[in-house]
Amino acid sequence: MTLLVTGGAGFIGSNFVLDWLKSSDEPIVTLDALTYAGNLENLASLQGDARHTFVKGDICERALVDQLLSQHRPRALIHFAAESHVDRSISGPGAFMRTNIEGTYTLLEASRAYWSGLGDVDKAAWRFHHVSTDEVYGSLSEQDPPFAETKTYEPNSPYSASKAASDHLVRAWHHTYGLPVLTTNCSNNYGPYHFPEKLIPLMIVNALAGKALPIYGDGKNVRDWLFVSDHASAIRAVLQGGRVGETYNIGGWNEMSNLEIVHTVCELLDELRPDAAGSYKRLITFVKDRPGHDRRYAIDARKIERELGWRPAETFATGIRKTVQWYLDHPEWVVRVQSGAYRDWVAQQYQA
């Protein structure tokens, strides 16, 4: 038994791979193109571990995906690889269309070819697990109920539109060809190894460097936040017991405005790394809003709880404390990410 994981050197993918190998000896093959967001240092603790194989490559390369499937014969493919940052999708949508749509299409077609050739038992057990986002559902007003799995798709950014397209492809490959798929739509994650272009890690590293903490618009946009290891445990639960062809929403039951998030981060830093110049809140700066900025996301995660018994283990209070502490404990990771040195490390270690 083996899992093929795409995007396993990114934020959520690397947390998933590390979590999986903590509690299972089932091997993982990671396929990752190591874009700016892929950091092999996240998986450095697995060097020399026979249970993990890293392959640098692009999910759009059909021949490579075919070869990995026939060589490693995985029982499931877990698809994390994506372009994932909304702001980058606004300034350059092309890479999002290619990786998120064409890449998912390539993986589906390669999977279909491989899966068609399996014996009956392996065929029934095989899974394509597509990791997606709540952003496909669009934006909520304050009074709207949270997103259920039945919510219509209303993506608003090039990122969420490309993820919505990939979700539709996955659905169609199940409906038309019978490919055994699972889709999970998760809310905003936070935790270790989060690239400091996203809100929470950006605020932590900027605060520690004495730089401005840029808040878009009025700071009242709301997101549901989930600690990343809870996302990993939800994926394990869906992979193990999810009904084929179904989608499951994953969330933390934790809606907060951006301003509340940044205040919490500042208060934790004030406690754990006080600054003689005063509270880190002094660095908060309101900046021009993101174009098309979705006002509110919220997740109704009752289906995954009812069917699979999954609930998040962390509260926001426990998860954000662990996260801030992780960044304080790993200044070298931050420095290497910010300077780009993690890419030199990859070149040396991996002969990229």
Residues labelled catalytic: 134-135, 159
Tell me the per-residue interface mask from 217 to 256 with ligand TYD, x by CB under 6 A, - otherwise: ----x-x---------------------------------
Half-sphere exposure of 260 (CA within 13 A, CB side): 12
Structure tokens at 158: 């090039």
Q: Can you point out the beta strands (E) in the chain? A: 3-6, 28-32, 52-56, 76-79, 127-133, 181-186, 188-190, 213-216, 222-227, 247-250, 255-257, 284-287
The window from 38-46, 97-105, 167-175, 214-222 that contacts ligand TYD (CB under 6 A) reads 214-222
Judged by CB under 6 A, the stretch of 8-16, 117-125, 196-204, 248-256 that binds ligand TYD is 196-204
Whole-angstrom Cα distance, residue 199 to residue 22? 28
Give Cβ neighbours of residue 161 (< 8 Å, ≥ 6 apart).
Answer: 155
Which lies closer to ligand NAD via its Cβ, residue 192 or residue 283? 192
Question: Exposed e or buried b for every residue in 101-112, given b needs 16+ CB within 10 A?
Answer: bbbbbbbbbbbb
Distance of closest approach, residue 215 Cβ to ligand TYD, in angstroms: 4
34 binds ligand NAD (CB under 6 A): yes
Mapped onto helix, strand or coil, the DSSP state of residue 283 is helix
Residue in 236, 233, 237, 226 with CA at minimum distance from that of residue 307: 237
Report in angstroms how near the CB of residue 46 gets to ligand NAD at its nearest: 15
* Binding-residue pattern over the window 172 to 211 for ligand NAD, x denoting contact by CB under 6 A: --------------x-xx-----x----------------
Q: Which residue, 198 or 343, has its beta carbon nearer to ligand TYD? A: 198
Which amino acid belongs to residue 287? V
Is residue 86 near ligand TYD by the rule CB under 6 A? yes
Total residues binding ligand TYD (CB under 6 A): 12
CB of 275: closest distance to ligand NAD in angstroms? 28
Contact set for ligand NAD, span 57-96 (CB under 6 A)? 58-60, 80-84
Q: Concatenated DSSP letters for 70-94?
A: HHH--SEEEE------HHHHHH-TH
- Contacts with ligand TYD, residue ranges (CB under 6 A): 86, 188, 198-199, 202, 214-216, 221, 223, 258, 290
Q: Footprint of ligand NAD on this chain (CB under 6 A)?
A: 6-7, 9-13, 32-35, 37-38, 58-60, 80-84, 99, 103, 131, 133, 163, 186, 188-189, 195
